[in-house]
A = this chain, B = another copy of it.
Amino acid sequence: MIRKLLLATVVSAGCTGAIAADMKAEDAIRARQSIMRVVGINFAPLAGMAQGKIPFDRNAFAANALRLESVWAMEPQRYFVPGSDKAVSGSKIAGFTDARPAAWSKPADFKAAFDKNGKAIQALAAAARGGDQAAMSAAVGEVGKACKGCHDDFREKQ
């Protein structure tokens, strides 16, 4: 049992694999967009529950919150590699990156925004493990703020 728990904890520790320095821009863009979309898909029902738009379901909440923690541990910020700041021509995702130049020109701010998000997500997962509905809902709000804060500064308006 303890071994299983330890392994489950490892999930949060990340280590998806090294990012090659010569990773193609298209691959980097698709990787970060994919991770962020998976984050969004998991976050949406949590926001719905916290806002009372869908019924609160403790198990479903926990499943999504812990998956969010695990996926965030893939460290999407690693995929904002040099050269992936512009639309990629001749690819399936031609013309498609919503990242703003500030993600590269203000690396300290960008890192701080990601770190804030990571802490909020860890707190959300902790709340989900705790099981208190009010704490879980409050933690969703903090994650939402962190997401929005980073998007406001580093993502083009949708």
Contact = CB atoms under 8 A, between A and B. Distances in A.
Contacts of A45: 16-17
Contacts of A10: 59, 62-63, 66
Looking at chain A's contact residues, the main secondary structure is helix
Instruction: Kindly report how many copies of this chain are found in the complex they form together.
Output: 2
Contacts of A13: 59, 63
A71 interface: yes
Interface size bracket, A side:
35 or more
Interface string A12-40: 01111100000000000011011101100
9 contacts: A3-B131, A7-B62, A7-B128, A15-B59, A15-B63, A17-B42, A17-B64, A34-B37, A67-B71
